[in-house]
């Protein structure tokens, strides 16, 4: 991006992007650790994930304030305005991704008979895929890379397919083993959360594309 | 910063211009004059100061441009941060993180929480982060402050080390799996025999007991192999010390491996009587494993040739050749991997542990030797072990033994032992 006459404006934008990246980094780790905690039944790790979500929330507030301040004081135009607006929206979405991870972590303690629980083995693969989407979309944001953003959007279909198969798997598991219904239902929510993380990563990808090119990606990609 | 002992020409000129301007603007001449005097006077005082030590000049030259030239071609990814933005990234860092990171907030390039806390706390130190480029990567970030504005970030890839520790975990998992398989069979048959007490007729019971015995022996072989493997690995870096006559050792070990049942397939030839520095038990194990493999995987009615000779003036060579179906070329590089089997079913059926060649490889490595496997599909396999001979002085001390070389008759005499 070309430099601005007002150097402070560049500094503000750089700081804004730094804040988004920091949020994203935290969200990535949160997904990974929430799923690790779920698979291993590690409630301590789960608590750590829940505790760290506060930091994401605090960063979101900071992003909001800074974005509003930039708009109020510098009246950005064109790509600068898109950058600020995108950051404002991405901040909100990444915060949601953090919340979903927190939600997964909160369910760790509610699942019984973990080692014999077959549907549990499918979730990490799905989580891995969603985690990769978040990772890639943040890289796309950092590099302002619309092509990578479009790739992320394309990956969402796989996550959705995963969700459908896990859903069926869990339902049939519940039918066959009524005693595990409460645990299986929890896993259903976990799968749902991961699916939502994928959708949110897609939203971020659209905004990255918008900030970089000024247009939303073509409908076929979504 | 002082301007050195140079006469402050520019400063005085500026003061003079200001004076003229003030006069032209109609400021009181006395005030204008006093401004001029104070200005010029202060400049003269500053110019009169002793010059700064020359060190300061050198310091000044260490600007971003020269740092950039310095670090550009390092193969380690290096970045220079100024406050919180990345001022410089060398080529390795740009390739790794993308050219866009220069000029960005450092958090954009390194967004992992561990890295951010390192950056934020503005301290010297290290952080380990996961998923810097790809999600499974592990990198170490080392931050060192250059001065109060600039800091250097050095990135080191630790993924390989993590891979090694994963290889160890995999080994334990594999070994446990291998141990459990025979155990499961033993437990299953024992359970059947116990539950159907009286109902199992004697021939069936005998058959079951036979299977139990075979599986127990396999378990025994596996545990022994695991133990020798771990012993060999532990001693890997200590050179062996014993002086060893290879000929009787090869003879003994080969016969040991063949046992009386397969003895007539064994064809042992000695073309030399080399002496090496080695570990008696381990070298015996090498020969035993190789001969056993050859007998097991070679065709049942074909001989197995064991040849001992000199490869070069200072290397002994033990070659074990079989005639059989051979090994596909693409499998040869993997043969010495633990638990690698070209044909798992056949290997298990013949009681193989999957560790034989891994042990051979480690022992040969410890003896600073070489292991070569050549094979032709449909013809057979030839395994060659080369071992460095014992020092020349040892040979001369017992040079008489040299005369005994070509002791091809020795096999017959040794047969009794």
Q: Is B326 left (phi over 0), alpha (psi -120 to 50) or beta?
A: left
Tokens encoding B260: 């009386």
Tokens encoding B344: 């798992």
Q: Which of B130, B157, B184 is the last residue of a domain?
A: B157
Say yes or no for a CB contact (<8 Å) between A142 and B116.
no
In a domain, B57, yes or no: no
In a domain, A1, yes or no: no
Q: How confident is the model at residue B318 (pLDDT cuts 50, 70, 90)?
A: very high
Kindly report the backbone phi and psi dihedral angles of residue B203, in degrees, each rounded to the nearest multiple of 5, phi listed first: -60, -40
Residues on A contacting B at a C-beta cutoff of 8 Å: 14-15, 17-19, 21-22, 24-26, 28-29, 32, 52, 128, 131-132, 135, 138-139, 142-144
In a domain, B274, yes or no: yes
Cα separation, B334 vs B350, in Å, equals 20
For residues B279 and B313, state if they share a domain.
yes
Say yes or no for a CB contact (<8 Å) between A135 and B116.
no
Say yes or no for a CB contact (<8 Å) between B98 and A28.
no
Q: What is the pLDDT of residue B336?
A: 82
pLDDT of B215 strictly over 70: yes
Compare B84 and B214 and report the one with higher pLDDT.
B214
Q: How confident is the model at residue B5 (pLDDT cuts 50, 70, 90)?
A: low
- The answer for B 79-98 residues in CB contact with A (under 8 A) is 84-85, 98
In a domain, B145, yes or no: yes
Cα separation, B86 vs A26, in Å, equals 20
Contacts of B172 (CB under 8 A, 6+ apart): none
In a domain, A167, yes or no: yes
For residues B102 and B150, state if they share a domain.
yes
For residues B72 and B184, state if they share a domain.
no
> Which range in A39-43, B150-154, B268-272 is most confidently predicted, on average pLDDT?
B268-272
For residues B179 and B323, state if they share a domain.
no
Residue whose token pair is 């020409």: B9
Lowest mean pLDDT among A31-35, A121-125, B60-64, B181-185: B60-64
Say yes or no for a CB contact (<8 Å) between B111 and A24.
yes
Task: Output the domain CATH number for residue B253.
Answer: 3.30.565.10
Say yes or no for a CB contact (<8 Å) between A32 and B100.
no
For residues B152 and B290, state if they share a domain.
no
Q: What is the pLDDT of residue B192?
A: 85
Average pLDDT of the residues in B374-384 = 89
| Dihedral (CA of B125, B129, B132, B134) sign | positive
pLDDT of B308 strictly over 80: yes
> Which range in B146-150, B271-275, B383-387 is most confidently predicted, on average pLDDT?
B383-387
Q: Which of B108, B134, B157 is the last residue of a domain?
A: B157
For residues B109 and B199, state if they share a domain.
no
Q: What is the pLDDT of residue B317?
A: 92
Q: What is the pLDDT of residue B403?
A: 42
**Which candidate in B82, B83, B107 is best for mutational testing of the A interface (most A CBs within 10 A)?**
B107
Contacts of B115 in chain A (CB under 8 A): 25
Cα separation, B318 vs B290, in Å, equals 10
Q: What is the pLDDT of residue B404?
A: 44
In a domain, B372, yes or no: yes
Single pTM value for the model: 0.57
Q: How confident is the model at residue B402 (pLDDT cuts 50, 70, 90)?
A: very low
In a domain, A175, yes or no: yes
- From the number of C-beta atoms within 10 Å of its C-beta (0-12, 13-18, 19+), residue B103 rates as middle
Number of structural domains chain A divides into: 1
Please tell me the distance in Å from A108's CA to the nearest CA on chain B. 23
Average pLDDT of the residues in B55-83 = 74
ipTM over 0.85: no
The per-residue pLDDT for range A85-128, each reduced to its tens digit, is 888 888 889 999 999 999 988 888 887 766 566 667 778 888 88
Q: What is the pLDDT of residue B60?
A: 55
Q: Which of B114, B132, B157 is the last residue of a domain?
A: B157
In a domain, B2, yes or no: no
In a domain, B382, yes or no: yes
Contacts of A131 in chain B (CB under 8 A): 135
Kindly report the backbone phi and psi dihedral angles of residue B80, in degrees, each rounded to the nearest multiple of 5, phi listed first: -110, 125
DSSP annotation of A114 reads G
Contacts of A18 in chain B (CB under 8 A): 84, 104-108
pLDDT of B382 strictly over 70: yes
For residues B290 and B376, state if they share a domain.
yes
Contacts of B405 (CB under 8 A, 6+ apart): B272, B273
Q: How many CA atoms lie within 13 A of A93 on its CB side?
A: 23
Instruction: For chains A and B, count residue pairs whose Cβ atoms are closer than 8 Å.
Output: 61
Could you give the residue numbers annotated as active site of B? 177
DSSP annotation of B27 reads -
Cα separation, A21 vs B112, in Å, equals 9
Contacts of B85 in chain A (CB under 8 A): 14
The per-residue pLDDT for range B233-266, each reduced to its tens digit, is 888 788 888 888 888 999 888 888 888 888 888 8
Q: How far is CA A169 from the centre of its chain?
A: 25
Yes or no: say if B298 and B304 are a contact pair by the CB < 8 Å rule. Answer: yes
What percent of chain B clears pLDDT 70, i.e. is strictly above it? 86
Pairing mode, if any, of strands B242-245 and B138-145? unpaired
3-state secondary structure (DSSP) of residue B357: helix
Q: What is the pLDDT of residue A5?
A: 66
Q: What is the pLDDT of residue B320?
A: 92
In a domain, A2, yes or no: no
For residues B326 and B188, state if they share a domain.
no
Q: What is the pLDDT of residue B52?
A: 58
Query: In which domain, by residue range, is B82 found?
Result: 62-157
Q: How confident is the model at residue B409 (pLDDT cuts 50, 70, 90)?
A: very low
Identify the H or E element spanning B128.
strand B125-130
Identify which of B84, B103, B111 has the shortest CB distance to residue A25: B111
Cα separation, A57 vs A98, in Å, equals 9
Cα separation, A22 vs B106, in Å, equals 10
Contacts of B106 in chain A (CB under 8 A): 18
Average pLDDT of the residues in A141-159 = 87
pLDDT of A76 strictly over 50: yes
Q: How confident is the model at residue B174 (pLDDT cuts 50, 70, 90)?
A: confident
Kindly report the backbone phi and psi dihedral angles of residue B79, in degrees, each rounded to the nearest multiple of 5, phi listed first: -135, 150
pLDDT of B207 strictly over 70: yes
For residues B283 and B224, state if they share a domain.
no
Yes or no: say if B333 and B382 are a contact pair by the CB < 8 Å rule. Answer: no
Contacts of A138 in chain B (CB under 8 A): 111
Contacts of A109 (CB under 8 A, 6+ apart): A43, A46
Q: How many CA atoms lie within 13 A of A15 on its CB side?
A: 17
For residues B395 and B258, state if they share a domain.
yes
For residues B374 and B408, state if they share a domain.
yes
Q: How confident is the model at residue B384 (pLDDT cuts 50, 70, 90)?
A: very high
Q: What is the pLDDT of residue A8?
A: 75
What percent of chain B clears pLDDT 90, i.e. is strictly above it? 4
Task: Output the domain CATH number for residue B210.
Answer: 1.10.287.130
Number of structural domains chain B divides into: 4
Q: What is the pLDDT of residue B383?
A: 92
Cα separation, B208 vs B260, in Å, equals 26
Identify which of B84, B101, B116 has the shortest CB distance to residue A25: B116
Contacts of A157 (CB under 8 A, 6+ apart): none
In a domain, B316, yes or no: yes
Residues A205-220 as b/e (b if ≥16 CB within 10 A, e otherwise) read bbbbbbbbeeeebeee
B115 interfacial to chain A (CB closer than 8 Å)? yes
Long-range contacts of B395-404 (CB under 8 A, 24+ apart): B395/B275, B398/B275, B401/B245, B401/B273, B401/B275, B402/B273, B404/B273
For residues B385 and B260, state if they share a domain.
yes
Identify the H or E element spanning B86.
strand B85-89
Cα separation, A98 vs A109, in Å, equals 19
pLDDT of B4 strictly over 60: no
Q: What is the pLDDT of residue B405?
A: 42
In a domain, B3, yes or no: no
Task: Output the domain CATH number for residue A201.
Answer: 1.20.58.220
Cα separation, A48 vs B358, in Å, equals 43
**Whole-number average pLDDT of chain B:** 80
Tokens encoding A66: 């800074």
3-state secondary structure (DSSP) of residue B145: strand
Query: In which domain, by residue range, is A195 found?
Result: 7-221
Average pLDDT of the residues in B360-364 = 89
**Which candidate in B85, B87, B108 is best for mutational testing of the A interface (most A CBs within 10 A)?**
B108
Q: What is the pLDDT of residue B406?
A: 41
């Amino acid at each position: 991006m070309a430099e601005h006459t007002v150097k402070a404006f560049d500094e503000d934008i750089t700081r804004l992007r730094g804040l988004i990246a920091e949020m994203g980094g935290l969200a990535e780790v949160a997904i990974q650790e929430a799923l690790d905690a779920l698979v291993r039944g590690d409630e301590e790790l789960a608590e750590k994930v829940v505790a760290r979500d506060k930091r994401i929330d605090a960063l979101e507030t900071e992003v909001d304030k800074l974005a509003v301040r930039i708009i109020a004081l510098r009246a950005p135009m064109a790509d600068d305005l898109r950058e600020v607006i995108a950051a404002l929206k991405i901040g909100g979405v990444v915060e949601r991704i953090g919340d979903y991870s927190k939600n997964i972590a909160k369910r760790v303690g509610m699942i019984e008979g973990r080692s014999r629980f077959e549907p549990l083995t499918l979730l990490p693969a799905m989580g891995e895929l969603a985690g990769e989407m978040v990772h890639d979309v943040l890289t796309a944001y950092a590099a302002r890379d619309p092509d990578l953003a479009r790739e992320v959007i394309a990956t969402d279909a796989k996550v959705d397919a995963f969700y459908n198969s896990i859903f069926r798997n869990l339902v049939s598991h519940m039918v066959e083993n009524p005693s595990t219904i409460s645990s299986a239902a929890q896993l259903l929510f976990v799968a749902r959360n991961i699916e939502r993380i994928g959708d949110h990563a897609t939203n971020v990808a659209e905004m990255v594309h918008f900030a970089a090119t000024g247009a939303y990606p073509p409908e076929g990609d979504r | 910063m002082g301007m050195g002992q140079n006469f402050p020409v520019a400063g005085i000129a500026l003061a003079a211009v200001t004076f003229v301007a003030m006069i032209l603007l109609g400021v009181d001449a006395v005030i204008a004059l006093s401004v001029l005097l104070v200005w010029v006077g202060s400049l003269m005082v500053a110019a009169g100061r002793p010059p700064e030590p020359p060190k300061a000049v050198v310091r000044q030259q260490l600007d971003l441009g020269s740092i950039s030239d310095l670090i550009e071609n390092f193969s380690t990814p290096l970045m220079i941060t100024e406050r919180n933005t990345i001022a410089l990234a060398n080529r390795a860092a740009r390739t790794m993180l993308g050219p866009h990171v220069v000029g960005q907030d450092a958090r954009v390039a390194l967004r992992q929480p561990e890295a951010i806390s390192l950056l934020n706390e503005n301290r010297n130190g290290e952080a380990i982060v996961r998923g810097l480029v790809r999600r499974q990567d592990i990198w170490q970030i080392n931050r060192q402050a250059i001065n109060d504005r600039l800091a250097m970030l050095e990135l080191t890839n630790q993924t390989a080390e993590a891979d090694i520790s994963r290889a160890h975990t995999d080994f334990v998992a594999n070994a446990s799996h291998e141990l459990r398989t025979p155990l499961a069979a033993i437990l299953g048959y024992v359970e059947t025999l116990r539950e159907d007490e009286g109902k199992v007729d004697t021939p069936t019971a005998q058959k079951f007991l036979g299977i139990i015995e075979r599986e127990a022996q396999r378990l025994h072989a596996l545990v022994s192999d695991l133990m020798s493997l771990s012993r060999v690995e532990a001693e890997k870096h200590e050179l062996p010390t014993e002086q060893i006559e290879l000929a009787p050792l090869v003879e003994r070990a080969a016969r040991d491996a063949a046992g009386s049942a397969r003895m007539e397939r064994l064809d042992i030839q000695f073309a030399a009587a080399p002496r090496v520095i080695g570990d008696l038990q381990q070298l015996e194990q090498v020969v035993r494993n190789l001969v056993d493999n050859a007998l097991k995987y070679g065709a049942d009615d074909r001989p197995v040739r064991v040849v001992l000779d000199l490869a070069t003036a200072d290397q002994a060579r033990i070659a074990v050749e079989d005639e059989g179906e051979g090994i596909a070329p693409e499998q040869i590089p993997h043969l010495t991997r633990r638990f690698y089997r070209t044909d798992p079913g056949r290997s298990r059926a013949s009681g193989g542990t999957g560790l034989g060649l891994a042990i051979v490889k480690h022992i040969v490595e410890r003896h600073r030797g070489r292991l070569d496997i050549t094979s032709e599909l449909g013809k057979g396999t030839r395994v060659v072990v080369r071992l460095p001979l014992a020092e020349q002085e040892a040979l001369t001390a017992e040079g008489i033994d040299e005369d005994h070389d070509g002791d091809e008759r020795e096999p017959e005499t040794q047969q009794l032992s």
